[in-house]
Copies of this chain bind each other. A is one copy, B any other.
């Protein structure tokens, strides 16, 4: 992992901490969800393996160091600092909620405790890697909820913000409950089921549609999905019947999905293809899925692209990575930000979840229910293998099933999940505020 993949100010601060003799001072930073996107009642934590991979492999090579030395901002940084970067390793601790955990506004998602430079540098990468996946996993969960048992397949790599975002988005969507993804690399890297058969260009490369269907069926057998809307959707459905043979079914990618799915269902049933399924794709999101099913559309699977892969209704979220504790001259100090529009709580934390509420507490407190933040890395080492993707997906499904009905709705719940702060945390906050530098 290239140490330069971070904001420059993380590196100028590193040089500053180093020059100020602070490189041994331990700091704790907290990655928290400051605000949920409008209409979202929860998010689903995702992206932890990317965090661990980054922290384990964060390095500065010679070319990278030479680049930094060439920048005016590092003109006064001594060569001892560059030697420090040359030997840089993350030696700290990481605590995190497991992937698939449902989280609410104001809650911490992970905590990094390390010598201050090591804790500061990862800010940019962590925010970017985790926030995006967490938004996509939650969006997937909303689509899956709306689909009421039908399959939702992630189709959005082409719309994602870079191909890499598409690959990780497919992973996050699977955690959120999608049945699979169109992204082949997501399947290869992460074991997510991959799906897809043919595009309009396939159909158009033959002189007649029925030939293109025959060739596809010969290749894919029971996995065949005929894309039937290249010329005329109903005619396409009749040709799928004509070709027959084992097939998964057909896909409709344009038009009035309600009317077309009904007509196509009729054609397939009349043609003896009662087992053949209908997939739709194109400009879908959780609301359209819900509306189609409420209207009784006989659709078996939804391919969701753009809206899912870009979390289009909420392409970003107010996540923060803030210093909550720091040693100053060997004395632990709690820190928080109290500027009028951006308030944070000091100190390392734990979240205790029971059936009725979440309690955000100080990290050393005892609480009842499940403690969400768990140790992941200690002293720079992964303490045990992370839960695998299937476990993360199961945890998400269980977490969401456990939510009160109102929070599973697509609209913003009038009453959010209760998240309160423990008495100890409130006391610390008051005390830190009273003693803060001014």
The residues of A with any CB-CB pair to B shorter than 8 Å are 2, 4-13, 15-17, 19-20, 22, 25, 27, 29, 63-64, 67-68, 71-73, 75-77, 116, 120, 123-125, 127-129, 131-132, 155, 157-169, 182-185, 187-188, 194-202, 204-209, 215-216, 218-223, 229-233, 235, 253-255, 306, 310-312, 315-316, 321-323, 326, 328-329, 333, 335, 337-342, 436-438
Contact = CB atoms under 8 A, between A and B. Distances in A.
A215 B76 CA distance: 12
B8 A182 contact: yes
B337 A200 contact: yes
B162 A128 contact: yes
Given A116-B205, A207-B333, 20 more contacts: A4-B188, A5-B183, A7-B183, A8-B183, A8-B196, A10-B196, A11-B184, A12-B197, A16-B216, A67-B187, A124-B183, A125-B163, A132-B162, A161-B162, A161-B310, A162-B164, A201-B322, A201-B323, A204-B326, A231-B438
Contacts of A7: 155, 157-158, 182-184, 196
A204 B323 contact: yes
Contact of A438 (B71, B235, B337): B235
Contacts of A169: 161
Closest 7 CB pairs of A and B: A9-B196, A8-B196, A161-B161, A201-B323, A127-B158, A315-B315, A161-B165
B27 A205 contact: yes
Nearest to A77: B219
A365 B324 CA distance: 65
B5 A163 contact: yes
B316 A205 contact: no
B159 A316 contact: yes
Contacts of A67: 187-188
Contact of A4 (B120, B184, B220): B184
A161 B163 contact: no
